[in-house]
Structure 1
């Protein structure tokens, strides 16, 4: 059920740097109860504190980047940020970016985040912070990033498109249609420009995306979490298979 009857419609606005602390709190709250990947990466309050700092830096850079828009949904009653969506405009020309984001830039300022930051399903990868495995071998984050790189190379490549880097709703405001409203904003923009949209989804967002017309374009990445969580090897923490889905939405009136 994703109906918003009985609830006021959210106010959709472009986020600013001043919103970043609240955005990070909202995103952590949205993932902390059901995202085992988040629990695996940040298993303690100390890890979460580091994550908070990490995400504030990344999302501040995203808000400043000329090829991103961080959209926030504000609850009109409480005035708090109920949900957010981060959209990246891939291979858009400078003039097009200026018309979409309202920010002008020189060609060499296209991306202000250094090094190139990868965000897949809201999970920050490759932002300069080491997640080296104690054994020196590949980590689960290496596996996720490698699969992501293959996806964008195969499907996005040099294609003009819109990429949904993250979408999350605070638990207090879920199942009110807010996520749908944020997605509809991006869908309308993609339709206006006649470009496809791409995203990486966790199992929790996958049904909503399918409902709104997205489709899988790759086999999902299956991660056996017990392999990466030795302390849960007996299965007593409910660790199982976690999937990442690689999805596409074609614009309306597209010739397929």
Structure 2
């Protein structure tokens, strides 16, 4: 699952802009059409996103990762994980106040359609609340690999990093996968739970944007699962 030519580590605050550039390039034909549905983001907005990444690392304990080509030193991929855990040491569940605090919706960008932007976050938050309740979990929020470096294992390594942390904590891992990404995540132990759709037709798209909610059971649960014969 690992490529010795690649190395995964935590992103440093001064690398926030590189992360933003990778994410923007990779998601330009997909999720960016929802986030920036009224046109390409301005430099002002890109600077805001960079600042959000930097602040997330420095002040909010966000788990931003980078994958670097060891030979060239180039950052070729990045990911963002979040650990939704109880504040009380030793607690097995989060309080409902803690659950709701994790469902904040950021302000839309100038290039966003506010209604579509908020609908995306409402859809994702509603399903997290319904499926996970107040259980702790790791969630993969972003995983982006530069097109010219696909099929080298960078994405797998970034996903596996979070899966390993979830196993260490004894909790589930949760993602909202694109339809194309489902086979990749299945190979890493994720199971499809639910198909969800964002209504983008009303905003000019040919079809609604679909996601597959997937969960990788906690390590103890996976060990209890029956083995196929």
TM-score interval, smaller chain = 0.7 to 0.9
1:44 to 39, 43, 49: 39
Q: Is the 8 A contact 1:132 1:139 kept in 2?
A: no
Q: Is the 8 A contact 2:81 2:140 kept in 1?
A: yes
How do 1:1-256 and structure 2 match up within 5 A?
A: 8-32=4-28, 34-35=29-30, 37-42=31-36, 44-45=39-40, 47-93=41-87, 126-129=105-108, 139-223=115-199, 225-229=200-204, 239-254=206-221, 255=224
Q: Partners of 1:72 and 1:44 in 2: how far apart?
A: 28
SS at match of 1:147: helix
* Residues 174, 95 of structure 1: alpha-carbon distance in 2 compared, 3 angstrom cutoff: farther
Report the aligned-residue RMSD: 3.0
Q: Partners of 1:56 and 1:144 in 2: how far apart?
A: 21
Q: Is the 8 A contact 2:35 2:109 kept in 1?
A: no
Q: Partners of 1:203 and 1:48 in 2: how far apart?
A: 29
SS at match of 2:70: coil
Q: Partners of 1:17 and 1:95 in 2: how far apart?
A: 28
* Residues 241, 211 of structure 1: alpha-carbon distance in 2 compared, 3 angstrom cutoff: farther
The size of the alignment, in residue pairs, is: 213
* Residues 80, 93 of structure 1: alpha-carbon distance in 2 compared, 3 angstrom cutoff: same
Q: Is the 8 A contact 2:137 2:173 kept in 1?
A: yes
* Residues 204, 56 of structure 1: alpha-carbon distance in 2 compared, 3 angstrom cutoff: farther
Q: TM-score by structure 1 length?
A: 0.71
SS at match of 1:128: coil
* Residues 44, 184 of structure 1: alpha-carbon distance in 2 compared, 3 angstrom cutoff: same
Q: TM-score by structure 2 length?
A: 0.79
* Residues 41, 191 of structure 1: alpha-carbon distance in 2 compared, 3 angstrom cutoff: closer
Q: Is the 8 A contact 2:172 2:217 kept in 1?
A: yes
Shift in Å, 1:65: 4.0
Q: Partners of 1:196 and 1:28 in 2: how far apart?
A: 28
Q: Partners of 1:10 and 1:246 in 2: how far apart?
A: 28
Q: Partners of 2:110 and 2:128 in 1: how far apart?
A: 22
SS at match of 2:23: helix
What 5-or-longer segments of structure 2 have no aligned partner? 91-97
What 5-or-longer segments of structure 1 have no aligned partner? 97-109, 111-115, 119-124, 233-238
Q: Partners of 1:64 and 1:156 in 2: how far apart?
A: 28
